[in-house]
Amino acid sequence: MMVDFVPDKTVYPFESRWFDSSGGRVHYIDEGVGPPILFCHGSPTWSFLYRKIVAGLRVRYRCIAVDYLGFGLSERPENFGYRIAGHTTVLGELIDHLQLDGFVLMGQDWGGPIGLGAATERADRIRGLVLGNTAFWPIEPLANRAFSLIMGSRHMQRRILEQNLLVERFLLGELGRTLTETEANHYRMVQPTVEARRGLAVMPKEIRAARTQLAQLAQDVPALLGKKPALAVWGMRDMVFRPKACIPRIHEAFTDLAVVELPHARHFIQEHAPGEIISAIANRFP
């Protein structure tokens, strides 16, 4: 199933591109010319989350932003499991299809584990890493695990599917008046039906279910990517990936790490502080 939604060019001024992966048809944008940067979103967002950052960087970089299967404008295949491992495989296929080499990868939220999972298998092609409000280790805090358990319950799964709970309450609840109605609708309208939201419903359960993959990343990231130039851009008011717990873990993994604190940003840093992120990336990877 494909989503019947056409983005408004006034807020998403990019050409849609498509890749037929082993799991289904993937939507992405590929804008600008220069050193490549691959942007990986989390849940419940899509490449729209990076629109301001892509617009600001495409004058000097080749900016690629992907929608995972089940998200954004990408296909919702019935036989795809929407697990982190599956998304990682499909992202790797896109990287290979585009023949990306010497590229910077940015991941936020689940975009961290998904992007890093693909990057560890292609470490010789990675120029550097940008991590924002994410984790690449098993997520242990009780609040996070309780969220996973509650969101995986039958009642909450029904609310995610029938009421678009993750978009309406968690994403738009945080961003509030920072978005125009048109922008808010771009998050809503790519998830218009129960069938279109099945990929979203899997993600909260992965906090616990993807423990094996996250444990492997906790070993592989320092071993295979730990000497790459890295940048952490962190929303200091995020209650999901708390800076005092997460930033030290990232320091331990990378020998060449710069940290840019975003003091007023919460979880969806691309919406809260796009200008600061644009400057941080340009300064770190000139």
Which residue numbers are catalytic?
109, 238, 267
Domain that holds residue 275: 17-139+211-284
Would 7 be classed as within a structural domain? no
pLDDT confidence bin for 221, thresholds 50/70/90: very high
Would 49 be classed as within a structural domain? yes
pLDDT per residue over 101-127, tens digit each?
Answer: 999 999 999 999 999 999 999 999 999
Would 166 be classed as within a structural domain? no
What percent of the chain is predicted at pLDDT more than 70?
A: 100
Would 44 be classed as within a structural domain? yes
Could you tell me the CATH number of the domain that includes residue 82? 3.40.50.1820
Would 9 be classed as within a structural domain? no
Instruction: Identify the sign of the CA torsion 262, 265, 269, 275.
Output: negative
Number of domains in the chain: 1
Would 8 be classed as within a structural domain? no
pLDDT per residue over 42-68, tens digit each?
Answer: 999 999 999 999 999 999 999 999 999
Would 204 be classed as within a structural domain? no
Give the pLDDT mean for 158-187: 96
CB 122 within 8 A of CB 36: no
